[in-house]
Structure 1
């Protein structure tokens, strides 16, 4: 395992020298997030302009080696709790396990073994006395209609789980431009509604400038209309996680993207709150 100290800007999936498990220092949470990467092939069914995955390809997660995942996660949790990893590689003030997060280099719910992975993580959370730590799924939400994904979300709800459901734009032209997906807003709404019904769900939104231009007022309005429509139908997310560009994109469009000021994000966050949805901002 590498001895290099970690920082909030280091999200290298290979930093622990393992296939599936990697540590991240979470600037938002102020602790160690134990990442699980089910897409070591760098394949995803979307291609977001701001994605930091190198050599990203269109596709799904390869078969998950469940015994290897269990071995890696059990060993890494033991090292965090009983070894010198925290003291040697984690800055003071952040030496705590904040959560276990399924994120990685592609869409984690594309793994055929997704439900089994959630059951495995839940078992190890119990084994290591980590019931209070969150189990977070970071997802584009496109596959939540699948039975095995819904089984996994039900299991997540039983072990202090939370879904972070990507919604960067709330219109089809915007989703095509930002996420390179031709999904419909109707499908997004259906999958988001399903996620909310199965497990506590946050909407995660990346807001940034493209070609020097912030999202147009029409983009903000469409987003707020989408939220208002959810609430009107009794569909209530936990809130919105609004964040900016923290690290450089590794996609061909990287030079076109730039971060917005914290003040700009906060202004949009206030509009979101005015609809009746809580919003946390991270620049």
Structure 2
């Protein structure tokens, strides 16, 4: 398993095959501040969104394939054994990041597009219990929220809550009725608000926002004000948010828009973080 692959992990490389597995891969995560074990339910590189900053090569539209639950569980057990009981941290991880922070449903597409999402959460939960990691590390779902109207997805994140989990809900710009250029998908504002409310109802939920320059321009004041107003409206409606994970571009996009994108200036990101904090939300800024 992972012990047979000697490459040292880096923040700028989130390769899905770094452990030689189908579903499970380790990364050093700048947002997590340590080692994150990814669970990729979309090894077919299919997603129902196509964010312009996405680092997945050969991305296609679609949902998750049939998951081999036994293989997923076996891979996760093997990698966690290397991390917890083996020499993985010493041989694969920079000294400053030798901390197991979380297991995250992430990967090459929208995890909740899997019709087996609840079963996957159950399997991962059983492995975390076997390694006595419940309450010691996080269980994270990184999601665009698009499938949260489905009962099995709500049941899955409710189980995650019981396992000490949290949802990272993608909100890159204020949702408006119509086409969302950053995410390359049709959205309805009321629909996004309802799904965000459902996420926060069933599991602790963070907003996850990526900001960057596109075609030489940062999001203008109108766009930023709309984004802040959307957050404020949800707070006022009683939606309990843990805070905002605000981040910029750290790895190159693999989408056709890649050469049109550029990291936002640090000072601009810091000022935006301050404005979000002004709403009463905690902000974790990753540049």
Could you say whether these structures have the same fold, taking a TM-score greater than 0.5 normalized by the shorter chain as the test? yes
Deviation (angstroms), 1:31 = 1.5
Deviation (angstroms), 1:240 = 0.6
1:110 counterpart residue number: 113
The counterpart of 2:49, out of the listed 46, 65, 69, is 46
1:183 counterpart residue number: 187
1:276 counterpart residue number: 280
Aligned equivalents of 1:123, 1:15: Cα separation in 2: 24
**TM-score, normalized by length of structure 1?**
0.98
Aligned equivalents of 1:20, 1:269: Cα separation in 2: 34
- Give the secondary-structure state (helix, strand or coil) at the position aligned to 1:214: coil
The 8 Å contact of residues 30 and 93 in structure 1, kept in 2 or not, is answered as: no
Aligned equivalents of 1:257, 1:270: Cα separation in 2: 24
- Give the secondary-structure state (helix, strand or coil) at the position aligned to 2:95: coil
Deviation (angstroms), 1:174 = 8.6
1:265 counterpart residue number: 269
Deviation (angstroms), 1:173 = 7.0
Aligned equivalents of 1:56, 1:105: Cα separation in 2: 8
Deviation (angstroms), 1:229 = 0.7
Deviation (angstroms), 1:277 = 1.7
Pairing 1:199-210 to 2, within 5 Å after superposition: 199-210=203-214
Structure 1 unmatched runs, 5+ = none
The answer to whether residue 179 in structure 2 is matched with residue 172 in structure 1 is: no
Q: Structure 1 residues 282, 174: closer, same or farther in 2, change over 3 A?
A: farther
The 8 Å contact of residues 168 and 175 in structure 1, kept in 2 or not, is answered as: no
Deviation (angstroms), 1:175 = 5.9
1:237 counterpart residue number: 241
CA RMSD after TM alignment: 1.2
The counterpart of 2:123, out of the listed 120, 124, 140, is 120
The counterpart of 2:65, out of the listed 51, 62, 68, is 62
1:251 counterpart residue number: 255
Aligned equivalents of 1:272, 1:219: Cα separation in 2: 14
Structure 2 unmatched runs, 5+ = none
Deviations 1:28-55 (A, max 9, x none): 3332101100000000000000000000
Deviation (angstroms), 1:71 = 0.6
- Give the secondary-structure state (helix, strand or coil) at the position aligned to 2:96: coil
- How many pairs are equivalent? 283
Aligned equivalents of 2:70, 2:210: Cα separation in 1: 35
The 8 Å contact of residues 42 and 57 in structure 1, kept in 2 or not, is answered as: yes
1:219 counterpart residue number: 223
